[in-house]
Amino acid sequence: MGSYSVVGKEIPNVDSLVKVKGAALYAGDIKMPGMLIGKILRSPHAHAKILSIDTTRAARLPGVKSVITGKDTLGVKYGMWRVRPELLDEEGLAMEKVRFIGDAVAAVAAIDEDTAQEALELIQVDYEPLPAVFTPEEAMKEGAPLVHDGFEGNVSVVRTINIGDVEKGFTESDYVREDRFVTQPVQHSSMEPHVCVADFDASGKLTIWDSTQSPYFVQVLLATTLGLRENDVRVVKPHVGGGFGNKVEMFTNEFCASLLSKKTGRPVRIEYTREEEFTVTRRRQPEIIEMKTGVKIDGTIVARESRIILDGGAYNGQTPTTLLLSGMFSLLPYRIPNYRYHGSRVYTNNMPSGAMRGHGALPPNFASEVQLDLIAGELEIDPVELRLKNAVQTGDSVPGIANEILSCGLSECIKKAAEASDWQRKRKQLPEGHGIGIACYSFTSGGIFNWFNTDLPFSEALVKVNEDGTVNLYTRAPDLGQGSNTVLSQILAEELGIKLEDVKILAGDTETSTADLGAWSSRLTIQAGNAVKRAAFDAKGQIFEIAGERLGIRLHEELDAKEGRIYIRERPDKAISFAEAVSTAKRAKGGMPVMGRGAYTPRGKGLVSAAWSFGAQVAEIELDRETGIIRVLKLTTAHDCGKAINPLLVDGQLQGSAQMGLGGALSEQLLFEDGRVQNPSFRDYKLFTAADMPEVESIVVETYEPEGPFGAKEAGEGLTIPTGGAVSNAVLNATGVVFNKLPITPQGVVESLEQKA
């Protein structure tokens, strides 16, 4: 993999000091002269016609500067799938109908929060309640109320995958098993809520400081819904306090703040309350999964069929993509030659679903991993051996999904996780009430789709080299706290042969940075990283040309650069400083700066991803049969991330993923009654805290990914995927009881044990 100076080193995040000192600026910290506070009025009904809205009293309240309803908008419907106009179903403010409790119907801008809140209470909305549907099964029934007209059975999207001959595969199988699994809605629970400050200036230019994962998507959607050109909208992403998929799309606060600013001529700030975070943003999609798998007597998987019904809620958002990913991850990370998938994305009158860390993969992975353990038990095969027998390998292809998997360390991950957890001994010798379980996973390293502009590069970077030896990196790739600014700076420093502290990164501003689609689908290391590496290579070529002349070398291949020095490979003592070479190059160009440009768009890589990460996780648990309480003793995760650009950050992702994964496995669940969230606070929504965490051992398995910068690939989302399956399998090992529904609650454990008895 080569010897590197910066890549592969454990380096703290480049913004660590700023954050520790409390100097990091978040969108909620922004204060502007004359700034107004915005609030949004939301529907109390899950499904209703809007007969009238009277804003007269609210508009007359002293301190209120503007009140808007759907009639003040252009009425443009928007969504994430612009290439499918029939799937664009959201409005900035509801025009004729509300479709879930919390749908936005009006907004106000006032001099302070109290006045804005009082104004909301003065708005009179006359509704005609309509019949509603709250489960996908009832929504799909004949004669059920339609959430959106024109979608029979409330099914907005159907996805299918067909590989090989599934019926023949089942016929040739020695053992066939069918199971039904159910996963719950989960909230992202970012520390920072959705918040923005919008300023529509006198020239007609809109600037919005926004807590977002994709400045580009917000820019495009605001331009679309407000009737502006894209470059009339500037989106600035300050520091972000977490997103996990819930800040990829445009939300009502961004639209309303922008329109209110246009109406008032003053900056407008809208921040969601914690209750709004729980009730009107997005959630991990609940899924009903029916899985059928056929195997040979030795455990070789021959065929699988997966049927998934996805509760997408009131609006499409990103769930058409979720449905596709769920079909893929019912298949990966195993070799399954015959596979059939049918997925239905269903409208209901619940809050919308959307992307969440491990997008689309967690529910089907849970189903697959639990079913594999049940198969292993029937065939009397060790679960580790069953997974090793069927693991995807480097060079494999998945028709229609992955043309060729160029790197895969899955088998090594399984072996290392089993060894580190003492699998062989503990599987046989654990005391009563203890269990151990394993689950494997795979995830994308960036999606190969562009819902907005198919001609736009997926990522671009601009490098400006300065005479003092420092380098400015301009990128739109947004750091949400995951450390992408650090990783991109390391890639740039390594390629140019300079010190990390000489890199100055300017990221997440649509006006000063080049194109990037945002932080989602674990795409930044490969896609933005490749763009940065290519931009650095472009700049390096210009500098090497001048340095070569100074050193008497014509071929750039004879030069190298490290630690701020450019030298002859065979004569390291013969060198000039990086700064001197840049200064000379600038003079040679008539004073023009040395600029490097790079872009990356994966082509010909299959349906979704240019590269795939892999991993395995082992959970060891202790279960109290009387209370049903499960205590996780240890989680061991081995993750193939290609080359670890920064092992410290990879370990941080593994640790954080363990916390999120355990919450989804054992405690987290949004509870609904007739479309209303019953636990919209951290008091009632049970997150895993630091005090709840077990020992977590993370193992980095390095492979070399040819498509990735310096061989790197995903290390951010895949790690959250296997925990539900690993914990469920550990409980199965301890009790002999199958848990095919998440979360695995104490009450559910007690009831299942009583039924078994």
Q: DSSP state, 496?
A: H
Q: What burial letters (b/e) apply to 522-555, b meaning 16+ CB within 10 Å? A: bbbbbbbbbbbbbbbebbbebbbebbbeebebee
Q: Is the dihedral of CA 497, 501, 503, 508 positive or negative?
A: positive
Is residue 384 situated within a structural domain?
no
Is residue 11 situated within a structural domain?
no
Q: DSSP state, 524?
A: I
Q: Would you tell me how many other CB atoms lie within 10 Å of the CB of residue 10?
A: 11
pLDDT in tens, 30-86: 999 999 999 999 999 999 999 999 999 999 999 999 999 999 999 999 999 888 999
The per-residue pLDDT for 384 is 98
pLDDT of residue 622 exceeding 90, the answer is yes
Residue where a domain stops, chosen among 546, 576, 600: 600
Is residue 385 situated within a structural domain?
no
User: Are residue 581 and residue 681 in the same domain, yes or no?
Assistant: no
User: Are residue 479 and residue 553 in the same domain, yes or no?
Assistant: yes
Residue where a domain stops, chosen among 600, 635, 659: 600
User: Are residue 679 and residue 552 in the same domain, yes or no?
Assistant: no
SS (H, E, C) 414-468: HHHHHHHCCHHHHHHHCCCCEEEEEEEEEEECCECCCCCCCCCCCEEEEEEECCC
Integer angstrom CA distances of residue 261 from 82, 119, 203, 218? 26, 17, 13, 16
Q: Is this prediction's pTM over 0.85?
A: yes
User: Are residue 61 and residue 122 in the same domain, yes or no?
Assistant: yes
Is residue 631 situated within a structural domain?
yes
The per-residue pLDDT for 586 is 87
Is residue 361 situated within a structural domain?
no
Q: DSSP state, 516?
A: B
Least confident range of 342-346, 388-392, 559-563: 559-563
Residues 594 and 583: their CA atoms lie apart, in Å, by: 9
User: Are residue 108 and residue 200 in the same domain, yes or no?
Assistant: yes
The per-residue pLDDT for 82 is 85
Contact 522, 359 (CB under 8 A): no
User: Are residue 439 and residue 402 in the same domain, yes or no?
Assistant: yes
Is residue 422 situated within a structural domain?
yes
User: 606 pLDDT band (50/70/90 cuts)?
Assistant: confident
Contact 269, 238 (CB under 8 A): no
Work out the average pLDDT over 143-152.
98
How remote is the C-alpha of 754 from its chain's centroid? Answer: 39
Residues 279 and 569: their CA atoms lie apart, in Å, by: 60
C-alpha angle with apex 675: 683 to 140, nearest 5 degrees?
140
pLDDT of residue 1 exceeding 60, the answer is no
pLDDT in tens, 715-750: 989 999 999 999 999 999 999 999 999 999 999 999
User: Are residue 557 and residue 583 in the same domain, yes or no?
Assistant: yes
User: 2 pLDDT band (50/70/90 cuts)?
Assistant: low
Number of domains, the chain = 3
The per-residue pLDDT for 359 is 96
Is residue 289 situated within a structural domain?
no
Q: Would you tell me how many other CB atoms lie within 10 Å of the CB of residue 5?
A: 16
Domain CATH for 671: 3.30.365.10
Work out the average pLDDT over 547-552.
89
Q: Would you tell me how many other CB atoms lie within 10 Å of the CB of residue 13?
A: 21
Strands 471-475 and 503-507: parallel
The per-residue pLDDT for 753 is 94
The per-residue pLDDT for 454 is 61
Integer angstrom CA distances of residue 156 from 23, 345, 582? 45, 6, 56
Residue where a domain stops, chosen among 248, 279, 310: 279
Which residue type sits at 512? T
Is residue 409 situated within a structural domain?
yes
Chain-wide mean pLDDT for the chain?
96
DSSP string, 288-310: EEEEEEEE-TTS-EEEEEEEEEE
User: Are residue 76 and residue 223 in the same domain, yes or no?
Assistant: yes
User: Are residue 552 and residue 679 in the same domain, yes or no?
Assistant: no
How remote is the C-alpha of 298 from its chain's centroid? Answer: 37
User: Are residue 482 and residue 584 in the same domain, yes or no?
Assistant: yes
User: Are residue 566 and residue 680 in the same domain, yes or no?
Assistant: no
pLDDT in tens, 165-212: 999 999 999 999 999 999 999 999 999 999 999 999 999 999 999 999
pLDDT in tens, 663-688: 999 999 999 999 999 999 999 999 99
Residues 743 and 723: their CA atoms lie apart, in Å, by: 11
Tell me which residue range forms the domain holding 255: 31-130+188-279
pLDDT in tens, 237-254: 999 999 999 999 999 999
User: Are residue 624 and residue 692 in the same domain, yes or no?
Assistant: yes
pLDDT above 90 coverage of the chain, percent: 91
Non-local (6+) Cβ contacts of 181 within 8 A are: 287, 288, 289, 290, 291, 363, 366, 367, 370, 371, 740, 741
Domain CATH for 124: 3.90.1170.50
Which range of 146-150, 443-447, 587-591 scores highest in mean pLDDT? It is 146-150
